[in-house]
Amino acid sequence: MIDDETAPHDLELRSFGRRRGRKLSARQARLLTELAPRVRPDLARPAPADVATLFGAPVKQVWLEIGFGGAEHLAWQARHHPHVGIIGCEPFEEGVVKALTLIEDEKLANILVHPDDVRPLLRWLPAGSLDRAFVLFPDPWPKARHRKRRLVGTPLLDQLARAMKPGGELRLGTDIGDYARTMLAALMRHPQFRWTATRAADWRYRPEDWPQTRYEAKALREGRRCTYLRFVRV
């Protein structure tokens, strides 16, 4: 098992994927030029004391999704929880464009998009500003020599613990058994997170308010077992 205590605090963002993929359509280019700056938190300015004021709609809670991929989960949560403001972080352009398209098409004023590594954003957010956070199917880095690049470990959990409110919920998902074990080990060691599971079904099945993503559906079709973890910030 990798000792995440020794992992660098801010590893360079790396992934199996490319940050920029296929050529953009005219609409996609417009979204990146015109809409993206309007829905992006400005980390060059001091964060407001109340991050709910960043959103274009009145919100009562603020959630964070780290690595939203195709934005299916991000948009579903925004639709079903219009009183919640959700900050989505995704460094890959294809995912960012998908989120921007959904924001424009569905007029989702309760989404902000940070198109980069989440760690600078977490340092920028005021302490105790997040009510919920999601880390769903992060890059697995399966080779032993690369596991220190995995996102979920003590450094990230320390940042999340600072940014989250006591009683806030952290949800994690993965289809990689070894990653599930290292996630669980890091969280069980962390003094500011408590596992909510009381039976095996709690980590084998998603709750009803946790929609399936296309990546998860693909993993299940290919026979990989998914693990769903829920922790509370104490």
- Distances, alpha carbon 140 to alpha carbons 6, 7, 15, 152, 172, in Å: 18, 15, 9, 10, 13
What digits encode the pLDDT tens for the residues 163-185? 999 999 999 999 999 999 999 99
* β 111-114/130-136 pair status: unpaired
Per-residue pLDDT band at 147 (split at 50, 70, 90): confident
The pLDDT of 134-148, averaged and rounded, is: 82
User: Over the stretch 38-63, which tens digit does the pLDDT of each residue have?
Assistant: 999 999 999 999 999 999 999 999 99
Alpha helix segments (H runs only) across 92-176: 93-106, 118-124, 154-163
Class of domain 21-42+58-233: alpha beta
Contact residues for 163 (Cβ-Cβ < 8 A; gap 6+) = 64, 122, 125, 126, 127, 128, 129, 130, 133
Q: What pLDDT, in 10s, does the model give residues 66-105?
A: 999 999 999 999 999 999 999 999 999 999 999 999 999 9
Q: What span, in angstroms and rounded, lies between the C-alpha atoms of 108 and 196?
A: 31
- Exactly one of 117, 139, 178, 202 is catalytic; which is it? 139
Distance CA 98, CA 111 (A): 13
DSSP character for 10? Answer: T
Taking residues 179-196, report their average pLDDT: 96
Q: Is 131 a catalytic residue?
A: no
Cβ-based neighbour number of residue 28 at 10 Å? 18
By the 8 A CB rule, do 60 and 39 touch?
A: no
Cβ neighbours, 10 Å, residue 178: 16
Q: Where are the domains of the chain?
A: 21-42+58-233
Predicted pLDDT at 20: 62
